[in-house]
Structure 1
Amino acid sequence: MTVTGPGTDSADSGWRLFCGDGNVRRVQFPEAPPWRRSSSSRQDADQPRPYLIGAAEADVVNAALHLRRPLLVTGHPGTGKSSLAYAIAHELDLDGVLHWPVNSRSTLQDALYRYDAIGRLRETNLRREEHDTTPGIGDYVRLGPLGTALVPHDRPRVLLIDELDKGDVDLPNDLLTVFEEGEFEVPELARLPETESVVEVLTEDPEVRVRVVRGRVRCAEYPIVVITSNGERDFPPAFLRRCVRLNLPEPDEQRLRDIVKAHLGDDALEDADALLQEFMGRRAPGELATDQLLNAVFLRKGGVNLDAEGLLNAVLHQLGGTV
């Protein structure tokens, strides 16, 4: 099929920054797609990427907000699981999202706090040699994303626990007590004498310190917790019982049009019909992501001939199977 249009000859569009011929060129880089611009280069740095979901899915989010329960979000890659946390923070005018990307080595303590005992010992020895005062312990305790989310605030923080199913099998159960009680203890601070009962510690937020009293952190409002899962592992029933579950479906054709319009403007839809139909024809559950369609439309809008050998397949490549 043809997915090109007037003025899309790749030889004349000037889109080839790299030619693979060994010649050195100083090129003018074009503007990046809106979703690939750094916050420092965006004029709307405080505005996240547009996020659209259906009313039924939004109601599930509202149920989790009212119940003060973690929202467990599942769905195929590219359906917007992680982006949902940022959309919630944006629409509710809350502080920045605290992000905990989970991997096989992640532990609950990593998310709560870290204590740099070695760094403190090194600094203590150095200051002793210089006859200086001993460094305070607060400079070596940093609350992690979950710990920072539990710091008392007037309004709740949004915590994104990304890809929990990649973590250790016991990690979901480890989180239960913290989710239920909304507090935790830092033993290194709890053991300090009464004269040091209040300690200012570092947080996940840059250059922000908070006071911890007698080593205990307790939230004033339960954080808004968004947990994503790719369905690689089942979670324990006790954990699932404490979550509100949301499965994000693949967007239909109209939703895809709305998403393209929201990200790239009305004019992006003018010549996107062929691409959209190609995307719908190739898509099987979990095999293509919405951002791949956005990538293709962005290139097409910029005058790129997507009929060039292998180019469309490179952009709309299947996510499943072998590479």
Structure 2
Amino acid sequence: MGEFRIYQGTGTVDTGGKRIRRRAEPPPWRKFDGGPATTLDRDAPVGRRLPDRARVAPYQADEKTVRMVNVALHLRRPLLVTGDPGTGKSTLAYAVAHELRLGGVLRWPITSRSTLISGLYHYDAVGRIEEASLRPGEEPDIGRFLRLGPLGTAFAPYDLPRVLLIDEIDKGDIDLPNELLDIFEMGEYGIPELERVADRVPQVRVRPSDDGERVSVDDGRVRCREFPLVVMTSNGEREFPPAFLRRCVRLNLAPPDEPRLRAIIQAHLGADALAASEALIDEFLARRDRSSLATDQLLNAAYLLHDAGGEGQPDRDDLVEVVLRELSGPA
């Protein structure tokens, strides 16, 4: 029998790296056998940008969030996270990768132009043709002209689950959620450019989106070995199809209450900043009751008032007015 609390939400790194291996065996209908296995670099930074790395340790996960992350981990199902801007939806993916030592987060930011193929891979057909023209009679290594996207990399046969952040999925094309269903169910996808040459080149090594160790693709198909932790965020701009929702573990992040706001400020800025921000927290809560505000606005205000003070600092009320501006109002 497995251990339920794989992710504990404390921000403390599982230095031994054993907790993720203590998950329960997957349900029979969620077992995957892709290969050959690629070793995950567990010590890779969770994010390429410094802010991605700096904010994960102090991330404040409540009990409900911890529970739902673990449900998704055990069931090998994607986690759909909804909530207002600034509630920590995206940061959750980095926090889990940080605590469980699951390497770099694969981030796929969604726009209205995002397609399933763009998330899976990119094929440089022009580059391959140019190289073939320079070397007549030689067949170029097709793997050099392929690069997996974040989605495609997440479903490569790693020995441990990758963490994939599909950010703001509600901004994508209306058909994108349904297009993802087949990959989420089957745990695999094909690359037509490799399938066409599979009889001559049955195994090709291609670059993952994070430039890690190359991934072997057999017979033109990529199949996961460990289903990734897929964190999809949504600001609630539209509804999703029932078929999509029933295959997801759903988590709604409510705006943090006063105790959690206090904990967030202390975790990020320290006890002294918290002590100096008591009135600011009250003002933030009062404003949030009347309009749309994000938690990072409170952090920005607390930082300015405590850490960026001194000579030349504007009046406190002016600073608060500038930083705690309603998100839905005019610019």
| Contact preservation (8 Å) 1:159, 1:225 | yes
| Contact preservation (8 Å) 2:166, 2:230 | yes
| Contact preservation (8 Å) 2:149, 2:209 | yes
| Contact preservation (8 Å) 2:147, 2:208 | yes
- Unmatched segments (≥5 aa) in structure 2: 1-47
Q: Distance in 2 between matches of 1:252 and 1:46?
A: 23
Q: Deviations over 1:162-185 (max 9, x none)?
A: 001100000000000000000001
Larger Rg: 1
Q: Pick from 231, 235, 243: which aligns with 2:236?
A: 231
Q: CA deviation at 1:46?
A: 7.9
Instruction: Please say if 1:126 is aligned against 2:131.
Output: no
Counterpart in 2 of 1:56? 64
Instruction: Please say if 1:321 is aligned against 2:329.
Output: yes
Counterpart in 2 of 1:267? 272
Counterpart in 2 of 1:26? none
Instruction: Please say if 1:298 is aligned against 2:306.
Output: no
Q: CA deviation at 1:146?
A: 0.9
* Map 1:1-323 → 2, pairs under 5 A: 39=50, 48-128=56-136, 133-284=138-289, 287-302=292-307, 303=309, 305=313, 307=315, 310-323=318-331
TM-score, with structure 1 as normaliser: 0.82
Q: Deviations over 1:4-29 (max 9, x none)?
A: xxxxxxxxxxxxxxxxxxxxxxxxxx
Cα pair distance change 1:48/1:56, threshold 3 Å: closer
Q: Distance in 2 between matches of 1:119 and 1:86?
A: 35
TM-score, with structure 2 as normaliser: 0.80
- Write the letter of the residue equivalent to 2:176: L
186-195 or 256-265, which moves further after superposition? Answer: 186-195
Counterpart in 2 of 1:25? none
Q: Deviations over 1:115-158 (max 9, x none)?
A: 11112112322344xxx844311111111111101111111001
| Contact preservation (8 Å) 1:306, 1:312 | no
Q: Distance in 2 between matches of 1:285 and 1:74?
A: 21
Cα pair distance change 1:286/1:229, threshold 3 Å: farther
- Unmatched segments (≥5 aa) in structure 1: 1-36
Q: CA deviation at 1:306?
A: 5.4
Q: CA deviation at 1:309?
A: 7.0
Q: CA deviation at 1:85?
A: 0.5
RMSD between superposed Cα atoms in Å: 2.1
Q: Distance in 1 between matches of 2:184 and 2:300?
A: 38
Cα pair distance change 1:197/1:90, threshold 3 Å: same
Q: Distance in 1 between matches of 2:214 and 2:305?
A: 47
Cα pair distance change 1:255/1:309, threshold 3 Å: closer
| Contact preservation (8 Å) 2:57, 2:98 | no
Q: CA deviation at 1:108?
A: 0.6
> Percent identity among equivalent residues?
58
Q: Distance in 2 between matches of 1:120 and 1:85?
A: 36
How many residues align? The count is 281
Q: Deviations over 1:206-227 (max 9, x none)?
A: 2531111110100011111000
Cα pair distance change 1:85/1:123, threshold 3 Å: same
Cα pair distance change 1:73/1:207, threshold 3 Å: closer
- Write the letter of the residue equivalent to 2:330: T
Cα pair distance change 1:230/1:216, threshold 3 Å: same
- Write the letter of the residue equivalent to 1:87: A
Q: Distance in 1 between matches of 2:325 and 2:124?
A: 44
